[in-house]
Amino acid sequence: MDRTRFVRIIAKMLTVVMILSVVVFSLGSIVPSADAKKRVTREQINELRDEKRVYERQRNEIQEKINALAFEQLTEMAKKGVLDERIIITGLEIDNLNEIIDHYITLIREKEYEVALAQAREEEQLEKYKSRVRDMEENGFISYLELVFDSTSFADLLARVDFVADIMRADEKLYNDLIGARDETIAAKENLEQSKSEMEEEKVFLGEKEAELIEQLEEASAIILEMEQDIETERALRALVEEEENRIQKEINEKVEELRKQEAANQAVRGTGELVWPANGRVSSRFGWRRHPVFGGRRHHNGIDIAARHGTNVFAADRGSVIISAYSSGYGNYIVINHGNGMTTLYAHLSSRKVSVGTAVSRGQVIGLIGSTGVSTGPHLHFEVTVNGSRINPLVKL
């Protein structure tokens, strides 16, 4: 084989390798580095969206109740109860949307980190590739041919050709690594933008739900306000509330008496005797006798009211055990905690209850959210303290 023909063969080999490298460049594949983590986070968001669909179905069922003719035939208090149900579901939908948004915030932070890592890898591969190109510019293809033509035997020639092939494979890997890093950066940026876009959609839904909640609260409050405008209706309403409060207080006292026997064996849930504020807000109504602003009738207020935004956290005032977690027409959603030593605390008009009967709670633990369920004309926490069966002024203990 003459020298010219051999040079042509080697040149063709180099050309084929370079063409293969270009093909790999255009078809480089992506292998995201955090797929497992992404799947888990997406599954959590999908689970929350499933929960969202359940709330939507429940809300539609309640709305059908409200739209039905039978709703108009209910008593005002029964109507308020149905409207409270709708408010509770809307509150849960808002909680759900906030949780979805929180997940997106975490996901976006992860994606931003992935983009930074991918960009760093791309820059690193680019520098390696540039270095190799500079090498090739300085030495050229002639360096490969010299390795071949300087061979001393056919066996030496084959070994040198293998060496050249190794260099070519290394060059091809550089192409692959660079394109893989570039495509990984592009994919990470696309995922980041998709997550941001999805989060913005959820924020729009959240704004709509918050506006819907305000309308629902006003509609529910209007029922109580209307009842309070008529003296006979107002008296009947207050009699109903007082009767219910007395019944619930009797139930509390009975439960406390039952639990006294168990206190020695249940020291872990006995309170300290000193209470922390159950919510962040202002005291809008104090303990004691108060006069109706229109009719002048006096009624004893058995606790304090703490006004705050709907959905504000409500905290256990001391450690203890939940003995009641229920809904009543007067208190709405309410919770009673037994702290031992004859002391209990009651938290009423909640939009949501986060604990059930038998739950051991710690001091300052979130047990519910402020609402306006029951006989209430605006979001606030009604807070009562009972010691040895008698209600006392909570401010004495706070």
Q: Please give the single-letter amino acid code of residue 358.
A: G
Domain shared by 222 and 241, yes or no: no
pLDDT at 7 over 50: no
Last residue of a domain, one of 206, 226, 246: 226
Instruction: Give the domain-ending residue among 178, 206, 226.
Output: 226
pLDDT at 234: 76
Residue 301 is part of which domain span?
Answer: 231-397
| In a shared domain, residues 352 and 258 | yes
Q: What is the CATH number of the domain that holds 343?
A: 2.70.70.10
Q: Residues 57, 203: one domain?
A: yes
User: Are 222 and 258 part of one and the same domain?
Assistant: no
Q: CB–CB of 184/122 below 8 Å?
A: yes
Q: Do 167 and 266 fall into the same domain?
A: no
pLDDT of residue 295: 46
Q: How many domains does one find in the chain?
A: 2
Residue 294 has pLDDT above 70, yes or no: no
Separation in Å, CA 127 to CA 120, 123, 130, 186, 313: 11, 6, 5, 18, 53
Q: Which residues pair with 385 in a beta bridge?
A: 345, 392
Same domain (yes/no): 61, 129: yes
Distance CA 121, CA 185 (A): 9
In sequence order, what are the residues at sequence separation of 6 or more whose Cβ sits closer than 8 angstroms to the Cβ of residue 27?
none
Are 269 and 330 contained in the same domain? Answer: yes
Average pLDDT over residues 217-227: 88
105-162 tens-digit pLDDT: 988 888 888 888 878 877 777 776 667 666 665 665 545 566 666 666 656 555 655 5
pLDDT at 20: 36
CA distance linking residue 223 with residue 217, whole number of Å: 10
Residue finishing a domain among 174, 200, 226? 226
pLDDT digits (tens, 9 = 90+) for 19-44: 333 333 333 333 344 444 455 567 88
Return the higher-pLDDT residue of 7 and 49: 49
Q: Are residues 83 and 53 in the same domain?
A: yes
Q: What is the mean pLDDT of residues 334-356?
A: 94
Q: Which residue has the tokens 């639990």?
A: 259
Q: What is the pLDDT of residue 305?
A: 96
Task: Give 273's pLDDT tier (boundaries 50, 70, 90).
Answer: confident
Which tops the pLDDT comparison, 100 or 293? 100
Whether the predicted model's global pTM rises above the 0.75 cut = no
Tell me, yes or no, whether 327 and 305 share the same domain.
yes
Same domain, 269 and 161: no
* Mean pLDDT on 179-195: 81
d(CA 224, CA 319): 34
Task: Note whether 198 and 53 are same-domain residues.
Answer: yes
